[in-house]
Amino acid sequence: MTSLESANKIKAKFGDIVSEPSEFRGEISLKISDAEKIFDVCFFAKNQLGLNYLVDISSVDNYGEDPRWTVVYHLRGVVSGQELVIKTDVSEEKSELPSVFGVWRTSNWHEREIYDMMGIRFSGHPDLRRILMWEGYPYFPLRKDFPLAGKPSDLPGVAFTQVTPMEGGPFVTLPSSSDSIAREPRVRTPEDAEPGISDKRLVDGKLK
């Protein structure tokens, strides 16, 4: 079965919610207008059409447009060699669509990543936690309204919120705005310095 035949079979089975297959650079893609049906479409594609391998799930933020999110599934038949792209839109208010974990177990981490990076939730996912960022991180970095340089974090970070433990130690300069000589803890100025060992050892040019 070729990719186009599979696309037409999905179209015949699900009818109006599936767009006409389109082609770009040899890739056949379908758009599903109802995101709630994505599980059924994927289940059908895997079990009836032999698209047994989920290559990847990608997400796109169409910032400023409605619906805001597009989720893209890349399917492949590892025996037949066919490939199919299935896309679906999700609105920002909803930001949720069914998980395909029941079809391919590999979608577990893909969906966690999309939740982590874009903030789209997957209903029915067994363990929807952040994966690349840490638990408790408040933003979704791949959204278009997230700035490139990042935002300050709520997590206590030693380097940015407190004096580093080394500071003020024997080998570290003291924190202040004065010049580097004044900040050096080992510095001895001529006024306050007691005579050093080297001074004590030589009296009148002779070794004591």
Partner 1 sequence: MATVQDIEIPDSAARAAAIEEAQDIQGEKMVLNMGPSHPATHGVLRIVLELDGEVITKADPDVGYLHRGDEKIAENMTYTQFIPYTDRLDYLAPLANNVAYALAVEKLLGIHDKLPPRCQYIRVMCAELARISAHLLGLGAFAMDTGAVTVFLLTFTEREKIYNLAEAASGARLTTTYTRIGGLMRDIPPTWCDQVRQFLKEFAVALAEAHTLLTRNRIWVDRLRDLGVVSKEMAIDYGLSGPNLRGSGVEWDLRKNQPYLCYKDLDFDVALGSVGDCYDRYLVRMEEMKQSMRILEQCCNKIPGGAENKSHEPVNVADGKITLPPKEKVLTSMEELIHQFMLVTEGVNCPPGEIYFGHENPKGELGFYINSKGGGTPYRLKIRAPSFINLSILGELMPGCMISDVPVILGSLDFVMGESDR
Write out the residues near partner 1 by the rule CB under 8 A.
24-25, 27, 29, 52-56, 58-61, 72, 74, 78, 81, 85, 104-106, 108-110, 113, 117, 130-134, 141-142, 146, 148
CB of residue 119 to partner 1, shortest distance in Å: 14
Please identify, using beta-carbon distances, which residue of 55 and 172 lies nearer to partner 1: 55
Q: Pick the closer one to partner 1 by CB: 27 or 184.
A: 27
Minimum CB–partner distance for residue 194 and partner 1 (Å): 46
Tell me how far, at minimum, the Cβ of 180 lies from partner 1, in Å.
33
Name the strand (E) or helix (H) holding 30: strand 27-32
**DSSP annotation string for 127-186:** T---SSSPTT----TTSTTS-TT----SS--HHHHS--TTTTSTTSPPPSSS-HHHH-TT
Judged by CB, which is closer to partner 1: 97, or 103?
103
The residue (of 44 and 53) whose beta carbon lies closer to partner 1 is: 53
Q: How far is the CB of 126 from partner 1 (least distance, A)?
A: 11
Give ∠ CA 24-105-113 in degrees, rounded to 5: 70
Instruction: Indicate the residue among 94 and 130 with the shorter CB distance to partner 1.
Output: 130
Tell me the Cα Rg of the chain. Answer: 31
| Bond into 195 cis (ω within 30) | no
Q: Which two tokens stand for residue 73?
A: 């599934």
The whole-angstrom separation of Cα 24 and Cα 22 is: 7
Cβ 101 to partner 1, closest distance in Å? 11
